[in-house]
Chains A and B, each alone.
Chain A
Amino acid sequence: MAPTLASAQTPDPLIVERQEWTQYLGDGVNAKPYGVPSKFEKDVVRREVEWLTASRQSSVSFTPLHALDGVITPNGLCFVRHHGGEAEIDPDKHRFMINGMVDKPLVFTMEDIRRMPGRVNRVYFLECAANSGMEWRGSQLNGCQFTHGMIHNVVYTGVPLKAFLNEAGVSAKGKWVLAEGADASAMTRSIPLEKAMDDCLVAWAMNGEALRPEQGYPLRLVVPGWEGNMWIKWLRRVEVGDQPWAQREETSKYTDLLADGRSRQHTFLMDAKSVVTNPSPQSPLKSKGPNVLSGVAWSGRGAIKRVDVSLDGGKNWRTARIEGPTFPRAMARFYVDFDWNGQELMLQSRAMDDSGYVQPTKNELRKFRGTNSIYHNNGIQTWLVRPDGSAENVEVS
């Protein structure tokens, strides 16, 4: 158990002795022109699971959810998924094209894009369709960073994609768009025109600053509530067409193979999901008595309406306190204040969204999906907390 100072026999030297940070002058105001976290937070970093992928350039790193709080993910900790490494693009050399079934194919510079009317700020989660994909057959990775860390939640600044499409004039026959990146994978995804004209954004900023290079600097597509692969980074082109393009990432990948050997395609939407981030395997309980259980919930169908938490593996539930701003298709933070007397716990959380969808158990999900579908695993996670406070990823009956 970690120190909890209920009473003291001798004075605490941290209080009665003068400490060096009290005595000596620290760094000046601009010692770090771009600030970085405290050196005591050096373990709060993205991590990867090297055995998952063949190369580091076509791979994924994971957000340290267990070490974060609130609802906004810091830019430097947002998980990264590349298919051809990180493109480094001079914004002056970036071009954005609208073509295909339009009245007038157009080319925009970043200067043009920033001059477009109708700029908006929107908070959205971005979750990789393969988040929790390693858990279909059973508990495998020990930590919510690895089981649930292919997600981040930031505020985007940009202009609705609709504005660019209107600028070019979409043909009445247009039904789909193809978004394409400028990176070495030239990532492409087909998106229904209806979605493109609804809430998609062409964004250049996240959390108030320019997109990070690994998130698509200088320009990315925002596809609220839909799988992260569709949020094309280094966005260079949007083509209008009358049918989907059946690109590699919407046929060979990002389709859901079911138990009967058939596959669902165009499963774009991310269903409601949640996870307890603390305690969890990377963030064990340290003290008996009052404790705060914390977690995050999100849904691609709308806003999180309610989150229930179970301490006994899903036998009994209590409704958690959702705290902080909640937006449609954005991450919500929940807490349960509880007393821990050292007993074993089986922690679960269950999200509900405003469409009435309730996050299913993993076994309920497997009834419909089998165990081969890789993507869209939004089943309820269980952490077994032992009397010593350590926690493990388990499956329960």
Chain B
Amino acid sequence: MSKSAKAIAFLALAVACTGGAFAGERAGLGRPALPEELKAWDIDVRPDGQGLPDGKGSVSDGEALFQTKCSSCHGEFGEGAGRWPVLAGGKDSLTSDRPEKTIGSFWPYTSTVYDYIHRAMPFGDAQSLKPDEVYALTAYLMNLNDLVPGDFVLSRGNFPKDLPNEKNFYDDDRETTEKTFWNNDPCMSNCKDKVEVTGHAAILDVTPDDQKDNKDEKPAGAVE
């Protein structure tokens, strides 16, 4: 073995040692995922349509399914029951005191409807729907939001990307628009002339009380 070949061999050995016992780039743990496993778990659908399966569904099939599997929470026409999410309507409400953030009024992409129904609905029986059923429910919800006609049949081939409100989303810009909040020398004394109380939580009286049953109170603001 020539001197340079020996040097290369030594170098290779050194690299192998580093990569083995003392944690190099790869530990060699885990095993290759099989195609069937990827198919079972990789269910996400993107706005560009990546992940949409074969299949199709009509507005009318979706309506029938919706009344059976969805309307007890979301209402017959997606208007929502109780505090369950409203899915349709809310047009032009986003600047009002009570915005209704529905698929038609707020959501940016159609793919999210398909992805979420398949992923998490019906609530308590997730991932039970077949692709044709998810296409049909998506079509019905688009119809409820006046986005497609009643005879529409949705499939991967005609799956729309953007919903009407897509243009009104933009990336986080707090560091520029709110840069006034960076201040190395905030006021410490006599920062305002007078201080007045302008609002009281006690007036609303919606705070849970271990001694009192007020769970039916429904003031403004909710999470889902």
Contacts and interface: CB of A to CB of B under 8 A. Distances in A.
Interface in B100-128: 101, 103, 106-109, 111-112, 115-116, 119-120, 123-124, 126-127
Given A252-B101, A372-B97, A384-B197, 18 more contacts: A51-B216, A84-B123, A99-B33, A104-B32, A107-B31, A115-B27, A118-B23, A139-B200, A139-B204, A184-B120, A246-B109, A248-B116, A263-B170, A265-B171, A384-B200, A394-B197, A396-B196, A397-B198
B189 to A, nearest CB: 5
Given A252-B101, A397-B195, A271 B174 contact: yes
A98 B116 CA distance: 21
Interface stretch (B40-48, B56-64, B131-139, B141-149): B40-48
Nearest to B124: A184
A199 interface: no
B172 interface: yes
Interface string B183-224: 110111111101111111110101110100001111111111
Nearest to B161: A246
A264 to B, nearest CB: 6
A316 B95 contact: no
- Residue from A186, A264, A318, A396 whose CB has the most chain B CB atoms within 10 Å: A186
B221 to A, nearest CB: 4
A257 B94 contact: yes
A358 B182 contact: yes
A255 to B, nearest CB: 7
Interface stretch (A33-41, A52-60, A217-225, A289-297): A52-60
Given A186-B126, A237-B41, A374-B223, A167 B32 contact: no
A166 B197 CA distance: 55
A368 B178 contact: yes
A357 B222 contact: no
23 contacts: A49-B207, A51-B215, A58-B123, A58-B224, A117-B27, A138-B198, A141-B201, A186-B127, A246-B46, A252-B106, A257-B101, A261-B94, A264-B172, A265-B108, A265-B170, A269-B172, A281-B207, A315-B189, A360-B181, A374-B223, A394-B199, A397-B196, A397-B198
B177 interface: yes
A251 B107 contact: yes
Query: Top 5 closest A-B pairs, CB basis?
Result: A313-B195, A117-B23, A106-B30, A393-B201, A395-B199
A336 B174 CA distance: 31
Interface in B32-89: 32-33, 37-38, 41-48, 73, 82-84
B160 interface: no
A106 B115 CA distance: 23
A58 B82 CA distance: 14
Contacts of B223: 52-53, 60, 130, 133, 374
Nearest to B214: A51
A246 B108 contact: yes
Interface residues of B, number: 90
Nearest to B93: A261
A262 B172 CA distance: 12
B7 to A, nearest CB: 28
Contacts of B32: 104-107
B90 to A, nearest CB: 12
A144 to B, nearest CB: 11
A139 B194 contact: no
Given A112-B30, A167-B26, A259 B208 contact: no
B168 interface: yes
Interface in A258-308: 259-269, 271, 281, 308
Nearest to B111: A246
A164 B184 CA distance: 40
B191 A141 contact: no
A178 B195 contact: no
Contacts of B99: 257, 372
Contact of B38 (A99, A269, A358): A99
B171 A252 contact: no
B27 A163 contact: yes
Nearest to B106: A252
A263 B169 CA distance: 5
Contact of B199 (A138, A260, A357): A138
A194 interface: no
A173 interface: no
Given A112-B29, A396-B197, A142 B23 contact: no
